[in-house]
Structure 1
Amino acid sequence: MIRTILFALLFLFLFDRCAQQVSPTGGKKDSIPPNLVESVPVNKTLNFKGKKVELFFDEYVVVDNINQKLVITPEADNPYSYKLNGTSVLLTFKNNFKDSTTFTLNFGDAIKDFAEKNPSKNLKIVFSTGSSLDSGRVYGVVKDIQTNKPIFDALVGLYNISDTLDIAKQKPYYFSRTDSSGVFSIENIQTKTFKLVAIDDKNRNMLYNARDERTGFLNENVTAGVDSISYNISMYLSDNTPLKIQRTTPRVNNYAVIFSKPVEKVDVTFMNKDTLPYLLEQGTSLKFFNVQPHPDSTLVKLVATDSLGTTTEFEQKIAFQQPRGKERQKDPFSLTTLPESNKPLENTFTYKLILNKPVQYLDDKKITLITDSLSHEPLSSFKWEWNANHNIVLISAKSFAKDSIKWDIPKGSVISVEGDTLARMFIKHPVLNAEDFGIIRGRVVNADTASNYIVELVDEQFKLISRIQNTTYNFQNIPQGKYLLRVIVDKNKNQKWDTGEMAKGRQPEAIYYLPDKVMLKANFELNDINIVIPK
């Protein structure tokens, strides 16, 4: 009897172990997404009055960040909770949906299968709280104006037309998000007229943050239709927030005024007889240097111009910290060049010496250009000049070198306003061999004589290689590689690209790209590479 009982217990133990469910260790990986088999309400239901939406799938599913990924249009302002029930997902809304309105619930990739996390594709439910479904549609493509690349996950919104439209405070009535190709489609909307706007919406609050989010808009209103045209939207950065002095940093050697956003330039007027050298660093920091003698404090008027051309005036008192030690600690004095060291130079060239502090003394007879270690010509024999802040030397020079060109900058030949000097520097460049480089030539087709044109050659990372202001271009001595060509329509002829500003209804200056990349080989000439401007 005891033996029988023991045998039965052993049998049950072994059977239980065999019956345990474990994940399969082999076999083909499941790549099939969950399929929607039923929904309540059924897709395209009319006269829906409920507060619950339930989706039923053909396998077990999980929910992934549904509060961020579920897009409900028009924006319902109707909080909901969700419950996962194995193969179904139940949404329970707090309030009834607005009457006589077509709603679209687009789930994106918020619902995935349990095993491999494959997202359900094109998961969307449409229903109407009235007796008919809205059939309007607005669709198109969103790209970045400066790179011509599609923008993924941009918010594209339709706003009710209003003279007081403020996308920083108003959410769109209908909206969609772009896919990886920059394509958007807003469907099942009222067939009426809207304002079409795209924003980055990085924080996904559906409001525009001008400081760090791109935007784009159409000047003309759009009318949603069953077969409406495709709209192209170009997005750009346009920080129209008021310029402020964010903070100041007083030190013994210098005094920095930090702006709340980058500025193009700052005009400085000293309100008394005192003057101080200064530099605008990285577009946001205006640094004044402590040179003796000067009063304990200096009052200045600053007129700063931002990227939108807006000027703002400030009055600022400059007061340096009092020294505490016997000797003031100075920031290192440094020099960079353009072109950079070791970059090839033609025998006739333009050149920049760029210093990180204003300079009080430069000996142009001690700084020399060495040609193949034989010829030494002082800087004074070439044409050179300072920039306005006395920290950049602009040089036009000519050499007869065959192999290398070298600058010799002895110690003591350049002295900053703080009284420090550079260590001796040798800056070397090989002489450019034209056979190692190529040429790209072409013109702008359909150019308008009323506008100015800037043709730019950029690499695949959109780094500027060369630019010319004309309707014809001839880019010489270009290294072998792949490049992009673009043309800026400089309407206001200020020799730079200007961004747009939606609040003023101003579009950015147009940029047109050559559709295909240019592939250049060494010692090759590419002619008639023309950029067409649409008529």
Structure 2
Amino acid sequence: MPALGATNVSTRRVEIEFDEFINVKDAFSKVVVSPTSKTAPKVSSQGRKAIVQFDDTLRANTTYTIDFADAIQDNNESNKMNSFAFWFSTGEELDTLQISGMVLAARNLEPQQGMLVGVHTNLDDTAFTKTRLERVAKTDERGRFTIRNLKPGNYRVFALADVNNDYTWDNPAEDIAFMDMTISPYSEQTTAIDTIYDIVNSRIDTIVKRARTRFLPNDVLLSSFNIDRKTQYLVNYQRIDSTRLSLIFNAKSDTLPTLRLVSPKVDDDWYRLERSRFNDTLTYWLRPDLVAQDTLIVATEYQRPDSTQNLVWGTDTLKFLKPRPKKAKEKKKRKETTDSVVPIPVRHLGVTPPSSSIEYYAPLYFTFDEPVDTIDQSKIRLEMKSDTIWKPVDRRIELVKNDSLTLVRYKITCPWEFGAEYKLSVDSAAIVGMYGHSNQKVEQPFKVKEEEEYSNFSFTVDGLLQGVPAFVELLNASDAPVRTAKVVNGVAEFLYLAPGSYYARLVEDRNGNGEYDTGNYDLQQQPEFVYYYPKKINIKKNWEITQPWNIVETAIDLQKPEAIKKNKPATPKNSRKKQGEDEEEEDEYFDVNANPFDPNNSHRGGALNTR
């Protein structure tokens, strides 16, 4: 009560009866009702019934949709009823149009489960941030959605990870997606053909043609992203040891905090800053005369959001205590003598030299245990072995800082020869740290890998829009980049690649900065488009491979290989994978009469690449 598809409904209590006992699980997070309202209806179960109680008066001449997703389960075995929805109208007519599609994470094409997808008839950009989405659906475990019971007309489509359940994007920490264009849903009549087979005689028995309504569009692709404007706060602060202070923030920032030493009072030049790439982890190396101080009181000023989410400067006063030295383990008692002298240990600059085997394309890296003050480059020598004799390399060698962020990591760059043996020598006291400690003598032999240990691999890329810059990332089994190459004249080349298994992702680098950039709703800017090579790439030693790749040949939702996909649908009960079954995507045909995002459609095609 009322019946599915009923009209002229006035009751605020909806009871949906099933043929067995059921439960409604996680109704608050899974069940959504359209049109949306400030007060959500109460959803419960009782025996064979799912009950929806509306607190507000129903709107006149409106089609209501109750989308249960997979919240309904049978009471005995907890089998889920996927994609179940119930609808009725308070007027004479029932709106029947639909919009279907999929939400994928823009950066890595992961299906986004549980995102709210909705529409606005108000086509202004501010509707998404000021008013509730009008009609909504939730994405399933494959990221698919269907917004049901729409009127004819023009709509804007949005997706929202609605943390505060207000159907509005008013929290910059929420993931979102939006369509650039408006959508006008429509339907068309098609003919579906069913074939009945005679199994006994192994022949076709009957071919049945039936009329079918197809609701379009059914291939909307939404790319979800985060604007990377999280509410910043100080996660932790500590005095790591006598020489260092540390500030750790929860989110990256474009601005650095300012620090003022309140006690003891000193001038401004009292630390050296070492920072992470995104300014979320900051290490302050103390000036030598402050190392002995037991307590430091520091006023820290940094940007944080106010109640209206605007960034304002605020100050915290932090106390840093010098850590107590760890107690040494008790030693066996020794006979004390009055004339015993305890020597003062000499502290040297700690140096972590490079390993004994290096890659052909890699520099030599050094790590020190304190920032470096001075380097005497004349005391650093690099020699190469020729037959049995060590000879100096015929170029100037310099130990330089690895980048502008770190204070303790340095490198030596040299054009190595394949398979050659080298020896690096650093004389004692060649390097002096900021606390006056100098290095002990370092002598490190190492060998460069042979050319035969590498392979050369390249993609010839098709499908890129002319003039759009791009780069390709080779990925490991964790979907993390290990090498990057620009696409130059349609080719992305990876020289001297170590043998192994890789995956690949292409980024359309619209602004040419060599990095992936997220979207910006205020500027109506989509995130940069990403494509995956749909297969695993196996590389063996001494191979030379050129692989063609048409980035739009495979539907976007079928591109990412299953082996590195993290958001995978749960395996249905009583479902077992056949022995030897391939773990990569299977070939599937596309039924033009079917909704490719219908979870109950076994022949699912891919989302059309509307980019």
Structure 2 equivalent of residue 523 of structure 1: 542
Structure 1 equivalent of residue 216 of structure 2: 228
CA distance, structure 1, for counterparts of residue 248 and residue 521 of structure 2? 27
Q: CA deviation at 1:141?
A: 1.9
Q: CA deviation at 1:280?
A: 0.9
Structure 1 window deviating more from structure 2 (465-474 vs 46-55): it is: 465-474
Structure 2 equivalent of residue 261 of structure 1: 251
The question of 1:440 aligning with 2:457 is answered yes
The question of 1:385 aligning with 2:400 is answered yes
Q: CA deviation at 1:145?
A: 2.0
Structure 2 equivalent of residue 287 of structure 1: 283
The question of 1:274 aligning with 2:290 is answered no
SS in 2 for 1:148: coil
SS in 2 for 1:68: helix
CA distance, structure 2, for counterparts of residue 532 and residue 225 of structure 1? 30
CA distance, structure 2, for counterparts of residue 462 and residue 503 of structure 1? 30
The question of 1:508 aligning with 2:523 is answered no
> What letter matches 1:55 in structure 2?
I
SS in 2 for 1:222: coil
Structure 1 window deviating more from structure 2 (113-122 vs 353-362): it is: 353-362
Q: CA deviation at 1:127?
A: 0.4
Q: CA deviation at 1:497?
A: 2.0
CA distance, structure 1, for counterparts of residue 317 and residue 369 of structure 2? 20
Question: Is the 8 Å Cα contact of residues 248 and 282 (structure 2) preserved in structure 1?
Answer: yes
Question: Is the 8 Å Cα contact of residues 69 and 138 (structure 2) preserved in structure 1?
Answer: no
CA distance, structure 1, for counterparts of residue 453 and residue 325 of structure 2? 56
CA distance, structure 1, for counterparts of residue 90 and residue 440 of structure 2? 78
> What letter matches 2:160 in structure 1?
I
Q: Could you tell me the percent identity over the aligned residues?
A: 19
CA distance, structure 1, for counterparts of residue 257 and residue 50 of structure 2? 62
Structure 2 equivalent of residue 24 of structure 1: none
CA distance, structure 1, for counterparts of residue 172 and residue 446 of structure 2? 41
Match among 399, 408, 412 for residue 395 of structure 1: 412
Structure 1 equivalent of residue 103 of structure 2: 142
SS in 2 for 1:107: strand
Q: CA deviation at 1:49?
A: 0.5
> What letter matches 2:33 in structure 1?
I
SS in 1 for 2:69: coil
Mapping of residues 204-353 of structure 1, within 5 Å: 206-208=167-169, 212-226=173-187, 227-229=215-217, 230-241=219-230, 253-259=243-249, 261-263=251-253, 266=256, 274=269, 276-281=271-276, 283=278, 284-292=280-288, 344-346=358-360, 349-353=362-366
Question: Is the 8 Å Cα contact of residues 440 and 529 (structure 1) preserved in structure 2?
Answer: no
Mapping of residues 177-196 of structure 1, within 5 Å: 177-196=138-157
Q: CA deviation at 1:128?
A: 0.7
Q: CA deviation at 1:46?
A: 0.5
CA 1:349–1:255 in structure 2 vs 1: closer, same or farther (change >3 Å)?
closer
Give TM-score scaled by structure 2 length: 0.65
SS in 1 for 2:28: helix
Q: Which has the higher contact order (CA 8 A, sep 6+)?
A: 2
CA 1:265–1:345 in structure 2 vs 1: closer, same or farther (change >3 Å)?
farther
CA distance, structure 1, for counterparts of residue 537 and residue 325 of structure 2? 60
Structure 2 equivalent of residue 72 of structure 1: 33
> What letter matches 1:281 in structure 2?
S
Aligned-residue RMSD, C-alpha: 4.5
Question: Is the 8 Å Cα contact of residues 364 and 379 (structure 1) preserved in structure 2?
Answer: no
SS in 1 for 2:61: coil
Mapping of residues 33-182 of structure 1, within 5 Å: 40-81=1-42, 84-161=45-122, 163=124, 165=126, 167=128, 170-182=131-143
Question: Is the 8 Å Cα contact of residues 12 and 57 (structure 2) preserved in structure 1?
Answer: yes
CA distance, structure 1, for counterparts of residue 412 and residue 494 of structure 2? 21
The question of 1:359 aligning with 2:362 is answered no
CA 1:300–1:180 in structure 2 vs 1: closer, same or farther (change >3 Å)?
closer
CA 1:335–1:300 in structure 2 vs 1: closer, same or farther (change >3 Å)?
farther
Q: CA deviation at 1:481?
A: 3.4
CA 1:364–1:297 in structure 2 vs 1: closer, same or farther (change >3 Å)?
farther
SS in 2 for 1:522: coil
Number of equivalenced pairs: 483
Structure 1 window deviating more from structure 2 (203-212 vs 429-438): it is: 203-212
For residues 329-362 of structure 1, what are the alpha-carbon distances to aligned partners after superposition, in whole Å with 9 as ceiling and x for unaligned? xxx997778xx9577512x643443557532244
Structure 2 equivalent of residue 307 of structure 1: none
Question: Is the 8 Å Cα contact of residues 255 and 289 (structure 1) preserved in structure 2?
Answer: yes
For residues 423-477 of structure 1, what are the alpha-carbon distances to aligned partners after superposition, in whole Å with 9 as ceiling and x for unaligned? 9888886632343432211334355665433232222322212112342222123
Q: CA deviation at 1:177?
A: 1.9
CA distance, structure 1, for counterparts of residue 270 and residue 551 of structure 2? 51
For residues 151-189 of structure 1, what are the alpha-carbon distances to aligned partners after superposition, in whole Å with 9 as ceiling and x for unaligned? 222222223426463756644221212223322211112
CA 1:190–1:427 in structure 2 vs 1: closer, same or farther (change >3 Å)?
farther
